[in-house]
Structure 1
Amino acid sequence: MSARLFSDFSPSGKDAWEKQAEKELKGRLKTLSDWTIGADLHLAPYLTNSEIDPEKMAAMQACQKKSPGWQNVPVVKFSEPRKTNVGMKHALENGADAILLDLGSADVAHCEFPKLLHGIRLSDTAIYFQTAENTADVFKEISKNAGYYLKGGIASDPIAEWMRTGKHFIDNINAIVSVLDQTRNMREFRVYMVDGQLFHNNGASPVQELAMMISGIVNYVDLLTDKEISPLTAFNRTMFSLSVGPEFFAEIAKLRAFRFLLSKISDAYQLPRALCKPFLQVQTSSFYNANVAPNTNMIRGSSEAMSAVMGGCNALTVRPFDHPFREPNDFSERIARNVSSILAHESALAYVADPAAGSYTLEKMSLDMADKAWELFLDMEAKGGFIKCFETGFIQNALKASLAQKAKDLGEDKVMIGVNKFIEDADSSFFDEKDLHSSSYNLADKNLSQCFKASTLTASKP
C-alpha cells in the first residue's frame, strides 16, 4: 500500500510548493508575513523538512513529556476554612483533578488546616498550597494527620517574592531544605516553585521567559546543593509555573523549548536524564485579558489552554474569564474547568504525549527559541547570574523594553480582539504611551493596554 501511494505522487520541494501557493493566492504569496516572536526571533511563514536538522529535531523530541494527559488544576482562593473546603470539594467533584489553593496573605496559624482539608486526603488528591509564608511552617500544618505520603506541594518562590517585595529569601531557603529532608520519599510532593508568572506579567517575550526561568532554577539548585541537597532532588522537587499567552504556536514552542533547555541544565549537573522529571504547571495568562470585552477572555483562554496541553504541561490551570476584575462566580469557574475537560475528553489531546512533534514550523520554532534563550541565559551567567542580574537592574530593564515593544505593536498593526479590534466600547481611547513609564509598568485603564496587568518589581538586596 505505502509503495503504491508514493509511486503515485512524485516528491515536491519548496519551490514547487511556493509556485502552487503563488497560483492559488493569486500573486499574494509575498504578503505572508514572517513569524515575529518578540524582538528576539523571526521565522519564515512556512517551512519544509529540508530546513530542519533531523538530529536536532530528534533531540528536541527526546526531551518532551513521555506520558500523555495532564491534571486539571483550578485555583481556589482561601477565604475562611469551611467555605474554602466546600469550594475545593465542589471543584474536585466537577472536573478538577487537583487544586491550586491560593492562601494569599493568610497567616498559616489562622488557616485551621483540619477544617480546611476536612474530607480531602492529601495522599490521594494533589493540593498545591500557593503562599509567601515560610515553607516549613506550611508543611508542618498540612502534614499533621496526613499520612506518610503526600501529593501536591507548596507553590512558593521566595526569590520571586523578594523580587516583588524586597522580603529576604534566605530563611525560606533554609525552610525548603528542611522540608526536602522530611519528604525524601514523597516524589509527587513539590517543595518549592520557580515562578515564571513574574516575568510573563512584566512583559517578557517568550525568549526572556525561558532564559530567566532556567537562570532561576540554576540559582535554586546552586543554593540548595550548597546546603547538601542533591542536585537531582533540587531539580525534581520543584514546580515550574508558566503562563501561556495568545500567540498560539509560539506558546506551544515555548513549552517544548523549555523542556529542551531543562535537559541541558540537567546535563550540566550530570544528572541521569531518565531520572529527571520536570513538572510544568501552566496557566492561562492574566496579562492579556481584556476588561473591555470580558467574554472574549473565554475564547482567548481556550486557545491558550490548547497551547499549554499541546506544549506538554503536566498541570493546567485555566483562569476564569472574569477573574481580573471581580471575584469569579460558579459559572465562570465551571467554564474554566470545562475547558480543560473538553480538551482532555473530547479533543483526544490527552491521548498523545507530544502532539506537536513532526510539525516543521513548530520544531524549527522550538529549536530557534531554545537557542536564543540559551544565549540570553549565558549572557546572564556572564553578568554574575540570576540574583546579580536583578540587583543591577538588567532583568528589569530587559522586561521594560519588551513591554514597551508589546505596547507599540498593539498601538500599530498587531490585532487583539476586544482590545484594539472589534471592541465593544466605541468611546474607548487609544493607547497613551506615557502610562508605560509608571513605576509598576502598569498599562491598565487604556483601550490598547487593557490586557496588560504588569506587577511591580523592586530591586532589593537579600
Structure 2
Amino acid sequence: YTPQDAPPPAEPPGVAPYVRGTQPLGHTEGGWLLCQEYAGPDVAATADALRDDLERGTQGVWLLLDAPLGLDVKDEATLERLLAHVPLDRTPVHLEPTSDVLRPASLLLEVLAKKAGAAKQSLRGSLGIDPIAALARHGAAKVDVARTLAEAAPLVTSLLKDAPGLRALLVSSRPWADAGATSVHELAWSIATGVEYLRELERSGVSPGEAARSMQFALSVGGQFFPEIAKLRAARLLWSKVVAASGGAPQAQAMALHARTASATKTRRDPWVNILRGTAESFAAVVAGADSVSTSPFDEPLGTPDELGRRLARNTQLILRDESSLNRVADPAGGSYYLEQLTGEFARAAWTELQRIEALGGISKALAQGDVARVLTETRTARDKAVRTRKLPIVGVSEFPHLHEAPVQ
C-alpha cells in the first residue's frame, strides 16, 4: 500500500467527518473511558460487583436490563439498590434494555434526581431508548417504533437543555452482531437505525442536529483486527455524512461511540482463549478511537462472570492504557495507507447496503418484511460451513481442542 492507494486524510483529529476521532488530541488527554458491562439475575451481587470494580479502575457502568439475560429492574427502589455504591455525579451510567425501552429511562432519571441533586450538568451516560433493537428481538407485534420515539421526543429536548451529558437514545448493534451479522451489515444497519431515529424525531419537532446530539452508538468489535479498526472509523465517517446531509452542524456530526468486545467470538470450550480474543478486540477499539470500551470477561459465555473474570477484563484495558501507553498517541491508525483504504472500502460497502435498506422503506420495514432475517440466515449458514470445513478456525474448539479440559468453576 502506497500514497496512491490511500492518501492520508486532510482533516486532523477532532474535525468533521471525524474519521480520526472526535477529540483534537485523541486519547492523550485522560485516555478512553473504561466502561464495564453488567448483567445477571442477582441485583445485590451486581451492586457489590459495581462497588468493587469502581474502586479498582472501572470508570463507567453499562447495565444490560430485562430478564432472563439481563438485570431485572422492576422499580425505582431496585435501581436505587443497584446503584447504591455508584457516585453518579462522576460516573457515566448507560442503560441497555431489551424490551420496555422507556420505563428504565424514567427510573434512572428519578434515581439521578434523588441522588445527584441539582447537579444535572455533570451527569453523563445514556438512557438506552432503542426501540429498533427491541423490534429486532421481539417483533412488530410488541414494539411500535414511531410511537416510542414520539413519546421520547420531549425527553430528548429537555435533556439537551438540562443535562446535555445524558443521551436519551441508544443505537446498539448488539442484536445484529450477536445474530451473526458481517461487519458491513452491522455497520450499515446501525447507521440505518440512526437515520430512522432522525426521521421520526423530526416528525415530533426535534431537529436532526438535536436528535444526533442525543444518540449514543454502541458497536461490537469482532476478531478481525484491522477490519474492525476500519469499521469503527467508517462508522464515524458515515454518521457525519448522514447528519450533514440532514442539516446538522459539524458539532452534531460527532458520533458518541462505545465499543464492546463481541459475544459471537467467544467460546465455552477452552474459555481461557477468550482472554486473548478480548485483548485483541479491545486493542482494535482503542486504536480506532472509541470513546469508551467494554471488555467482556472470559467466563461470560458460561454464565454470570465472577470476580476473576471481571478483574482480568478490567486489567486488560488498564494494561493497554498504563503499560502499553495507547493513550499517548492521538490517532494511531491515521495515515496508514492500508487502514485508510480499508476504511474507505468499509464506508462504501456499508453505504451501498444503507441505500438498499432505505429503498425498502427503512430498517423497521426491512425487519418487518423479513429481509434482515434472510440476510442473517445466509451469513450464519456460510459461517457455519466455514467452521465445519475448518476454513474458519476456532482455537480451542475446531483447532487445538483440549479433549480432557477441566471445566471452569
Q: Secondary structure at the match of 1:128?
A: strand
- Counterpart selection for 1:116 from 82, 86, 106: 82
In the alignment, is residue 411 of structure 1 matched against residue 388 of structure 2? yes
Q: Would the alpha carbon gap of residues 114 and 328 (structure 1) be closer, same or farther in structure 2, given more than 3 Å must change?
A: closer
Q: Would the alpha carbon gap of residues 253 and 408 (structure 1) be closer, same or farther in structure 2, given more than 3 Å must change?
A: same
1:165 equivalent in structure 2 = 138
- Counterpart selection for 2:60 from 98, 116, 120: 98
TM-score (norm 1): 0.77
Structure 2, unpaired ranges of 5+: none
- 1:375-431 C-alpha deviation (Å, 9 max, x unpaired): 11111111211111111111111111112222222223222211221111289xxxx
- Mark the structure with the bigger radius of gyration: 1
Tell me, yes or no, if the aligned pair for 1:78 and 1:101 is still in contact at 8 Å: no
Q: Displacement of 1:255 after TM fit?
A: 0.4
Q: Displacement of 1:49 after TM fit?
A: 2.0
- Measure the CA separation in 1 of the matches of 2:4 and 2:306: 51
1:379 equivalent in structure 2 = 356
1:127 equivalent in structure 2 = 93
- Measure the CA separation in 2 of the matches of 1:94 and 1:54: 39
Tell me, yes or no, if the aligned pair for 1:61 and 1:357 is still in contact at 8 Å: no
Deviates more, 1:274-283 or 1:111-120: 111-120
Q: Displacement of 1:302 after TM fit?
A: 0.6
Q: Would the alpha carbon gap of residues 137 and 366 (structure 1) be closer, same or farther in structure 2, given more than 3 Å must change?
A: same
Q: Would the alpha carbon gap of residues 248 and 354 (structure 1) be closer, same or farther in structure 2, given more than 3 Å must change?
A: same
- Measure the CA separation in 2 of the matches of 1:387 and 1:123: 36
1:143 equivalent in structure 2 = 112
In the alignment, is residue 424 of structure 1 matched against residue 390 of structure 2? no
Q: Would the alpha carbon gap of residues 276 and 50 (structure 1) be closer, same or farther in structure 2, given more than 3 Å must change?
A: closer
Tell me, yes or no, if the aligned pair for 2:8 and 2:335 is still in contact at 8 Å: no
- 1:156-199 C-alpha deviation (Å, 9 max, x unpaired): 42221122112223453244223213312322212121110111
1:176 equivalent in structure 2 = 152
Q: Give the number of aligned pairs.
A: 381
Tell me, yes or no, if the aligned pair for 2:257 and 2:291 is still in contact at 8 Å: yes
Q: Would the alpha carbon gap of residues 386 and 284 (structure 1) be closer, same or farther in structure 2, given more than 3 Å must change?
A: same
- Counterpart selection for 2:187 from 210, 220, 224: 210
Q: Displacement of 1:226 after TM fit?
A: 0.8
Structure 1, unpaired ranges of 5+: 1-46, 428-462
In the alignment, is residue 222 of structure 1 matched against residue 199 of structure 2? yes
- Measure the CA separation in 2 of the matches of 1:344 and 1:61: 26
- Measure the CA separation in 2 of the matches of 1:182 and 1:61: 27
Percent identity reads: 29
- 1:250-293 C-alpha deviation (Å, 9 max, x unpaired): 11111011111111111111212234331111111111111111
1:28 equivalent in structure 2 = none
Tell me, yes or no, if the aligned pair for 1:240 and 1:281 is still in contact at 8 Å: yes
- Counterpart selection for 2:310 from 313, 328, 333: 333
- 1:215-266 C-alpha deviation (Å, 9 max, x unpaired): 1100011111111112122112211111111111111111011111111111
1:48 equivalent in structure 2 = 2
In the alignment, is residue 73 of structure 1 matched against residue 48 of structure 2? no
Q: Secondary structure at the match of 2:270?
A: coil
Tell me, yes or no, if the aligned pair for 1:126 and 1:152 is still in contact at 8 Å: yes
Report the aligned-residue RMSD: 2.3
* Aligned residue type for 1:94: R
In the alignment, is residue 323 of structure 1 matched against residue 300 of structure 2? yes
- Measure the CA separation in 2 of the matches of 1:326 and 1:116: 19
Tell me, yes or no, if the aligned pair for 1:113 and 1:141 is still in contact at 8 Å: no
Q: Would the alpha carbon gap of residues 275 and 140 (structure 1) be closer, same or farther in structure 2, given more than 3 Å must change?
A: closer
Tell me, yes or no, if the aligned pair for 1:78 and 1:104 is still in contact at 8 Å: no
Q: Would the alpha carbon gap of residues 124 and 112 (structure 1) be closer, same or farther in structure 2, given more than 3 Å must change?
A: same
TM-score (norm 2): 0.87
Deviates more, 1:154-163 or 1:259-268: 154-163
- 1:422-456 C-alpha deviation (Å, 9 max, x unpaired): 111289xxxxxxxxxxxxxxxxxxxxxxxxxxxxx
* Aligned residue type for 1:117: L
- Measure the CA separation in 2 of the matches of 1:78 and 1:210: 28
- 1:64-98 C-alpha deviation (Å, 9 max, x unpaired): 21231211111123655554332212111111011
Q: Displacement of 1:356 after TM fit?
A: 0.7
